[in-house]
């Protein structure tokens, strides 16, 4: 019996069609971020893993609709998607292979569906994105798009009512993660005519959009990239406290998630202006070390529980 099959069984997913849909979403998430997907399988309680996969896959599917193609095409695709998802939430049923797993996960984690509604109400922020003039514009984007998207995942990790302070802790994490994504994905975003660095930050370093498009290796560009990565690192370092809100069994996964982001920041820093031609990934040995460390912590936690039950 495969690792994935045992998790479908533990999550009570027995319908063959639904199992197939969850498995397809698993493949999407695995292609999207392999190390994070591995962390889901290794470090989360078995019943939780498929539900988190469903939430991530829904977020990723929505993000693709908002990002891919000319604006009129994206706007029409998102309007149709928002209508289809809203109807599924109202009726509790859907034939869509992304929405059906989400509904199943929502039946087990009722707060998830409320976060889906919140996300749908603000997701057009990304559709309308045309760049940031100031840091304040970035902060608004964080509140209106990045945080509602991340709460789809974060709400699954905490059972019952949301603890006071949890959303603020999640915001700190997603601030670091979003800043890292923006600097690490510069080459891809610029190729799509999308600039995610605030104009006032560019001006403060004497860097122009053309410098970035031409992948110029100048002192100003190097200083800019260092500042952007340091901002991401600062937020990620402050985000470790989010684990205090989680059940002990879910903490190794989130610790690994943050550590993988920090390892990505290390790789991005080493790449320097090369980020303007391709994104960075954490070194495989570094990622394996993180996953192995947290897996050992998880096994120790399980042994401790077993000893207490004897």
Q: Are residues 166 and 109 in the same domain?
A: no
The mean-pLDDT minimum among 163-167, 256-260, 299-303 falls in 299-303
CATH for 229: 1.10.600.10
How far apart CA 214 and CA 141 sit, in angstroms, is 27
The mean-pLDDT minimum among 11-15, 93-97, 306-310 falls in 306-310
Does residue 31 carry a pLDDT above 80?
A: yes
Residue 154 lies in a domain: no
The position carrying tokens 């690994």 is: 256
How far apart CA 283 and CA 78 sit, in angstroms, is 36
Measured CA to CA in angstroms, residue 276 lies from 58, 200, 265, 292 at distances of: 29, 19, 15, 32
DSSP string, the chain: --HHHHHHHHTT---HHHHHHHHHHHHHHHHH-HHHHHHHHHHS-TTTHHHHHHHHHHHHHHHHHHHSS-HHHHHHHHHHHHHHHHHHHHHS----TTHHHHHHHHHHSTHHHHHHHHHHHHTHHHHT----SSHHHHHHHIIIIIHHHHHHHHGGGS-SSPPTTHHHHHHHHHHHHHHHHHHHTHHHHHHTT---S-HHHHHHTT--HHHHHTT---HHHHHHHHHHHHHHHHHHHHGGGGGGGS-GGGHHHHHHHHHHHHHHHHHHHHHGGGGGTS-----HHHHHHHHHHHHHHHHHHHHHHHHHH-
How far apart CA 264 and CA 184 sit, in angstroms, is 9
Does residue 111 carry a pLDDT above 50?
A: yes
Q: Are residues 64 and 205 in the same domain?
A: no
Does residue 310 carry a pLDDT above 70?
A: no
Residue 284 lies in a domain: yes
Q: Are residues 165 and 293 in the same domain?
A: yes
Reported as a single tens digit per residue, the pLDDT across 192-245 is 899 999 999 999 999 999 999 999 999 999 999 999 999 999 999 999 999 999
State how far Cα 121 lies from the chain centre.
19
Predicted TM-score (pTM) above 0.75: yes
pLDDT of residue 187: 97
Q: Are residues 163 and 310 in the same domain?
A: yes
pLDDT of residue 17: 96
Residue 138 lies in a domain: no
Reported as a single tens digit per residue, the pLDDT across 112-136 is 999 999 999 999 888 878 899 999 9
pLDDT of residue 307: 44
Q: Are residues 164 and 123 in the same domain?
A: no
Q: Which of 107, 128, 149 is the last residue of a domain?
A: 128
Q: Are residues 92 and 37 in the same domain?
A: yes
Residue 272 lies in a domain: yes
Q: What percent of the chain has pLDDT over 90?
A: 86
How far apart CA 225 and CA 279 sit, in angstroms, is 13
Does residue 306 carry a pLDDT above 70?
A: no
Residue 150 lies in a domain: no
**Could you tell me the two tokens for 115?**
């976060």
Terminal Cα distance for the chain, rounded: 28
Q: Are residues 164 and 310 in the same domain?
A: yes
Residue 120 lies in a domain: yes
pLDDT of residue 61: 95
Residue 148 lies in a domain: no
Does residue 305 carry a pLDDT above 80?
A: no
pLDDT of residue 13: 96
Q: Which of 108, 128, 148 is the last residue of a domain?
A: 128
Q: Are residues 206 and 80 in the same domain?
A: no
pLDDT of residue 300: 78
Instruction: Tell me the HSE value of 42 on the side-chain side, using a 13 A CA sphere.
Output: 23
Reported as a single tens digit per residue, the pLDDT across 144-191 is 999 999 999 999 999 989 999 999 999 999 999 999 999 999 999 999
Q: Which of 76, 109, 128 is the last residue of a domain?
A: 128
Residue 227 lies in a domain: yes
**Could you tell me the two tokens for 211?**
């410098």
Does residue 82 carry a pLDDT above 70?
A: yes
* The dihedral formed by the CA atoms of 240, 246, 248 and 251, expressed in degrees to the nearest 10: -40
Q: What percent of the chain has pLDDT over 70?
A: 97
Q: Are residues 172 and 112 in the same domain?
A: no
69 or 190, which is more confident?
Answer: 190
Q: Are residues 310 and 188 in the same domain?
A: yes
DSSP string, 199-214: HHHHHHTT--HHHHHT
Q: Are residues 309 and 163 in the same domain?
A: yes
Q: Are residues 23 and 82 in the same domain?
A: yes
Structural domain count of the chain = 2
The domain of 236 spans 159-310
Tell me the pLDDT of the chain averaged across its residues: 93
pLDDT class for 70, splitting at 50, 70, 90? confident
How far apart CA 88 and CA 101 sit, in angstroms, is 12
Reported as a single tens digit per residue, the pLDDT across 209-224 is 999 999 999 999 999 9
């Amino acid at each position: 019996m495969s690792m994935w099959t045992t998790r479908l069984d533990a999550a009570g997913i027995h319908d063959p069609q639904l199992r197939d849909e969850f498995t397809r979403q698993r493949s999407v998430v695995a292609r999207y971020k392999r190390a994070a997907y591995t962390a889901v399988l290794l470090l989360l309680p078995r019943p939780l893993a498929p539900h988190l996969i469903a939430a991530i896959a829904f977020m990723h599917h929505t993000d693709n609709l908002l990002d891919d193609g000319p604006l009129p095409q994206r706007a029409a695709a998102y309007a149709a998607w928002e209508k289809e998802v809203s109807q599924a939430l109202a009726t509790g049923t859907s034939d869509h292979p992304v929405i059906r797993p989400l509904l199943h996960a929502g039946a087990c984690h009722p707060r998830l569906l409320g976060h889906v509604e919140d996300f749908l109400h603000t997701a057009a922020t990304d559709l309308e994105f045309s760049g940031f003039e100031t840091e304040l514009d970035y902060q608004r984007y964080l509140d209106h798009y990045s945080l509602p998207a991340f709460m789809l995942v974060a709400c699954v990790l905490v059972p019952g009512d949301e603890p006071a302070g949890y959303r603020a802790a999640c915001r700190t994490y997603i601030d670091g993660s979003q800043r890292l994504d923006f600097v690490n994905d510069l080459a891809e975003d610029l190729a799509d005519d999308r600039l995610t660095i605030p104009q006032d930050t560019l001006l403060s370093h004497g860097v122009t959009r053309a410098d970035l498009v031409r992948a110029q290796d100048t002192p100003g560009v190097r200083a800019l990239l260092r500042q952007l990565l340091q901002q991401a690192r600062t937020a990620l370092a402050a985000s470790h406290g989010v684990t205090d809100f989680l059940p002990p069994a879910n903490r190794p996964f989130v610790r690994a998630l943050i550590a993988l982001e920090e390892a990505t920041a290390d790789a991005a820093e080493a790449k320097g202006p090369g980020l303007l031609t391709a994104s960075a990934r954490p070194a495989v040995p570094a990622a394996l070390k993180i996953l192995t460390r947290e897996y050992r912590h998880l096994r120790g936690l399980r042994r401790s529980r077993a000893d207490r039950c004897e």
